[in-house]
Chain A
Amino acid sequence: MTKTDTALPSIPEIRAALTSRKAAATEAAQACFSRIDADDPTIHAYLALDREGALKRAGEIDSAAAKGEALPALAGVPIGIKDVLTQQGLPATAGSKILEGYRPPYTATAVRRLADAGAVLLGKLNCDEFAMGSSNENSAYGPVRNPRATDRVPGGSSGGSAAAVAARMAVATLGTDTGGSIRQPASFCGVVGVLPTYGRVSRYGLIAFASSLDRIGPFAANVRDAATVLGVIAGHDPMDATSSNEPVPDYTANLDAGVRRLRLGVPAEYFAEGLDPEVRQAVEAAIEQLRAAGAEIKPISLPHTRYAVPTYYVIATAEASANLARFDGVRYGYRAPDSNTLSAMYRRSREGGFGPEVKRRILLGTYVLSAGYYDAYYKKAQQVRRLLTNDFLTAFEQVDAILTPTAPTPAFKLGEKADDPMAMYLADIYTVTASLAGICGLSVPCGESREGLPIGLQILGKHFDESTVFRVGQAVENSQK
């Protein structure tokens, strides 16, 4: 489907071009818009474009570069934003009909930081409704198709963010990850996707799904670009009390340090029944290459892994049922017409505005929090969450990072799991664990299936040790060349 195979420039290439020739930022933005015009009618990654704003901003960067002004970290880098983050002046739908036409009056901190660092913001990216889904088929605006095989899903919920990078419609994008929504689509689309530590990136301006789990992170075509973008958006924000004061290191500084003498754990539980043989083969080959590069590979156990998906679906839905109570047709978004009473207006607006998966999760979350079930489900899940977290804390006493497949299979076909919520939930089986424990990680491409579908390796690191995760990711990327 691709018209040309020209790769977009990387972030360092854009930087170099800005100082060596005229209009490099405009060129990079134009290159993205050309791909969008050619391919997005098929892929459907973008829900809204800001062509005018982007080209104006690119022009400003080009003028600044021509005058020899100091250039900020992301000067002229074309970036797309998942549509659960607010950007003043553009719509924010969260992939839902209930927010159709809504234009938020403020900009998310992560988006603001990109803009302040000179990024050229292209538009808003398609996603599963309220980030609930693993295939992007739950978007009220239609699914995204995987650029690597258009009969396949791009993964979800940040499907548009992953597909835009894979289809070269952006140099980098922001996504969000609550149970795997950055890492799994990165794996399916063959790009790099980063789950930063809980609290690493401010969530001010993120339309909340599950507040003890939601995180914002970057997608990029390579590890270095992803590390650069994270460095810009990370750090404390007075507008988000859960954002950490932990200093933000230069994530690119140690990228080429290699993996010699790093201790990398391989948990047996992630290589059990249900893992596609081709995924297993690619992941094991990547692990062998890390061993050959000098890493010490250690078998480890994360014994409570099999309880992660049920734990996740209790906690995430409970929090979602509370967070989504704010969509009631009063202050913004869809209001059902002709209701006689306030409560009828609430019910009919929510009934008409939410899609089936969102309703399913609100119902489940309301159920597990309701009188008589709280202890049996919600408290139980919080207890198992501690066991799952302790599994990781114990493992990290012996290893510096952990290696697993990102997803049990390569990208599946559109419609394949759409009618079976349980089958869909199991697509997150290797990613929800890190979400519950709050640790960081990323997915990096580590091979392809015989059909040419990308396969991702998941690298998990200690709280606030993104640097090690990036360093291992860079070694994997180097071994793929």
Chain B
Amino acid sequence: MSDPNSTQRVAAEDVRRVAELAYLELTPEEETRMGRDLNAILGYIAQLNELDTSRVEPMAQVAEVLGNQPGSPRADAPHPSLPREAVMVAAPETDGVFFKVPKVIER
């Protein structure tokens, strides 16, 4: 794991690892370019370390700071969803009932 305060934060192997996690298959040129860009951006982001946030609660979303909460959840009652045909028409490969995909189990 790299040190968040060094300037070279992301090595080529980190870019490959993250690309794998994100299901992206980068070309060698993309890998170089992305590594350079990520280092520049993470270097810029590192300035957040100037702030002492040890006593600050993380804020995930805005509703928690508003006096008025978002609308209450809708009633837990079944209602019709989109018709299957309307959805399946957009599928790259389908038998009309299921989405078809290549082999799932790899050996």
Contacts and interface: CB of A to CB of B under 8 A. Distances in A.
A199 B104 contact: no
A463 B51 contact: no
Given A363-B34, A421-B41, A383 B60 contact: no
A384 B48 contact: yes
Interface string B47-91: 111110100111111110110101111100000001000110111
Interface in B1-45: 1, 4, 10, 14-15, 18-19, 21-26, 30, 33-34, 37-38, 40-42, 44-45
Given A102-B90, A382-B58, A386-B59, A421 B37 contact: yes
Nearest to A328: B23
Contact of A363 (B22, B49, B66, B106): B22
A354 B66 CA distance: 36
Interface residues on A, range: 35 or more
Given A344-B102, A393-B65, A376 B4 contact: yes
Contact of B53 (A245, A330, A380): A380
B61 A331 contact: no
Contacts of A106: 82
Interface of B: 1, 4, 10, 14-15, 18-19, 21-26, 30, 33-34, 37-38, 40-42, 44-45, 47-51, 53, 56-63, 65-66, 68, 70-74, 82, 86-87, 89-93, 99, 101-104, 106
25 contacts: A102-B90, A105-B82, A105-B89, A199-B62, A212-B61, A236-B71, A242-B70, A307-B48, A307-B51, A313-B41, A314-B48, A321-B22, A329-B92, A331-B91, A335-B92, A341-B103, A343-B23, A346-B23, A359-B30, A363-B24, A377-B4, A380-B48, A381-B45, A387-B56, A389-B65
Q: Closest 5 A-B residue pairs measured CB to CB? A: A438-B62, A382-B58, A335-B92, A383-B53, A386-B59
